[in-house]
Structures are given as structure tokens and as C-alpha cells.
Amino acid sequence: MTQFALTDDQIAIRETAERFTAAEITPHAAEWDEKHIFPRDTIKRAADLGFAAIYVSEDSGGIGLGRLEAALIMEAMAYGCPSTSAFISIHNMASWMIDCFGGARVKEKYLPSLVSMDAIASYCLTEPGSGSDAAAMKTSAVRDGDHYVVNGAKAFISGAGANDIYVTMVRTGADGPGGVSCLVIEKDMPGVSFGANERKLGWHSQPTAQVHFDDVRVPVENRVGEEGHGFKFAMAGLDGGRLNIGACSLGGAQRALDEAIAYTRDRRQFGKSIVDFQATQFKLADMETDLQAARALLYMAAAKVSAGAPDKTKFAAMAKRLATDAGSSVVDRALQLHGGYGYLMDYPIERLWRDLRVHQILEGTNEVMRIITARELLRAAN
């Protein structure tokens, strides 16, 4: 069993995240959702535990953990609020990209404030005209001396307008992936502006908007890595991002399952608790099985990404697809078990249902996850 069990350190990390969630997130999540409150102070307190730089190296001020430990943290925080956990995940992805691929100057310029979350980062890849076909992006960066002049727009950016730093994929060369580079752009640089907050089904505890760049002059020293390598960096970031968003689905679904068990024990119909009906027990059993299967694959994929395994991208895609599909399905069945009460905001189920739905779309749609899986599968078969 040793190879399938968490280590003592991993259990301690998970328990720390669970205690933080119980004290700082769960009691407030419903209000954040209802009133569209961005809990910046709570997010900042997560940074005090190292949760703003989970896999940023210790040399750069992070806590230098692996992708499995990150998944455990995201899963635990999502138990209280999937939206807030996912927001912290995105900041971690952006910070890691600077640490992993950036030169000394850009790291020393930005990582200290990102590790402490005195500054918060967004990840900017998607554009109004390029979603799944990310390599078709049009936002341009033209070299002008020791600056790039950036023009274009990014869409569906978590934290847009509220965050301080935007790790942005821009086109510095020809069409296609090889013409993409990565720049760190600050909120207050002249020419940076933001669209109105999007009116979303869920994820109400974080702002989402477009980011516009109009002749924004960005120092060349803010480039992450070499020109033309940005798309490769973006995809590497998404391997971890997909694990984290899958973990957020697991956490939200676990909360929904626990709520469903408690509710069906208390709710009585036809003279007995509805949990005593075999139909209810079968539904709960299937929910648990689906959740455990998704968790096992996601933890395996996390270990592969940490180890740099050759099939890490395929496993990250499979795990993201399975965990987010299973998570949404578990929450949907939990809502059904609650009956009409599950549709009310007095219970957390409808919020979990809304928050988890977008996980099947972002960090690469689940259709794209199937494309990646099939491509890697057929490549290995040749």
C-alpha cells in the first residue's frame, strides 16, 4: 500500500490547508458568492502559509513543493470555495512560470511581491478570437529599442482589473506557436485598461474581465525566457493548471457528497430517512466511486508532472477531464438528492453546482483534453 498512500508530510500539508479552509474560507464563501465579494485579505492570509508560491522554488522564496502537494492544497481549499481556490491556483501558475522560465532580473523584480501576495498575478492567454486555438492569438509585441510595444486584448482573465501583474502571451514573430513570447505586464503601465466585469454563472468571488493593451511599452527585461518560447511556457503552465482545476473539482464534489450524506440522513419521507432507501444508497455509492477514481488518476498525474515523465501532458489532460466531469456529475446528483432545497441558496449545493461547471471549459476544454489524449495515444502506437 505504501506507493498509494500519502506521506506523513503530505498529510500534514493537507491538514494545514483543511484547517485554514475551515477557519477562513468556508464560513464566508456563501456571502462572497451572493455579494460578489473578492476576498483579497483572505487570499493574502493564504500566502502566509506559503500557498501563493506552492511550487515556486525555495531559492526564489517559495515553499518548493510538488504538484501532488499543490493538488492536496487546492482540493482542501475548494471544499470551502472552489472559486477562491481556483483563483489562488492561477496566481501560483503565473508565479511559477516566472520562476521556472524567467531570467534573474525578471525574477528578482517580481517574485518577492508575488510570493507574499503583496502583488497578485493573472495568466493571460485566451483572446476574444482565440480560445481553444490558442496559437492563433493576435496580441502583438513589437520590439522598439529596449521595450516592446504591446497591442491587443485578452479575454476571460481572472483577476482582471484587481490584480497587479499580468503574465501575458504575445506575438513577437510569425503566425503559429513559434511566434509567441511571454511578457510580464504591470497593471499601472500606460495603455493597460480593463473591460467591465463579466456577469458569470459562478465564480462570483473573483472578478473576470478583458484586458486591453494599447501601445503599452514593456521593458525587454520583463520578457520571460527567450523570444518564441512563450507558447511552450504557456502549455507547461497548463499541465499544472489542469491538475489544480481538477483538484478544485474534487474538493467541491467532496463537499457536495458530504452534504448529501448529512441531508439524506436528516430528511425523512414515507416514515424513514431517505438515506435508508436503496435507491439513495446506490446513488451515494456511485458518487463515491466516481470521486475516488478521479482522485486516484489526478494524484497519479500530479506525480508524473512533478517527475517530468514523458507522458505527463497526456495524464494531466486525462485527469483534468475525468475530475472535472466527475466533479460536476457528483454535485448534480447531490443537488437531486436535496430535492427542491438543493435549488435554494440557503444550501451550498447550488453554489457548488455553478462554480464547478466552468471547470469543464477552462484550462483547456474537456473536448481539447480528449484531443490531447488521443493524439498522445496514437503517437505512442506508431
For the annotated catalytic residues, the residue numbers are: 363
Q: Which long-range contacts (CB under 8 A, 24 or more apart) does 373-378 make?
A: 373/314, 373/317, 373/318, 373/321, 376/311, 376/313, 376/314, 376/317, 377/314
Listed residue (222, 213, 232) closest to 140, CA to CA: 213
d(CA 129, CA 92) in angstroms, rounded, equals 26
* 93 in Cβ contact with 209 (< 8 Å): no
Determine whether 289 is exposed, middle or buried from the number of CB atoms within 10 Å of its CB (0-12, 13-18, 19+). Answer: exposed
d(CA 199, CA 273) in angstroms, rounded, equals 39
Q: What angle do CA 122, 313, 114 make, to 5 degrees?
A: 25
User: What proportions of the chain, in percent to the nearest 5, are helix, strand and coil?
Assistant: 60, 15, 25
d(CA 289, CA 284) in angstroms, rounded, equals 9
d(CA 89, CA 203) in angstroms, rounded, equals 13
d(CA 36, CA 30) in angstroms, rounded, equals 10
Amino acid symbol at 377: L
d(CA 187, CA 205) in angstroms, rounded, equals 20
**Which are the contacts of 128, defined by CB distance < 8 A and separation ≥ 6?**
153, 155, 210
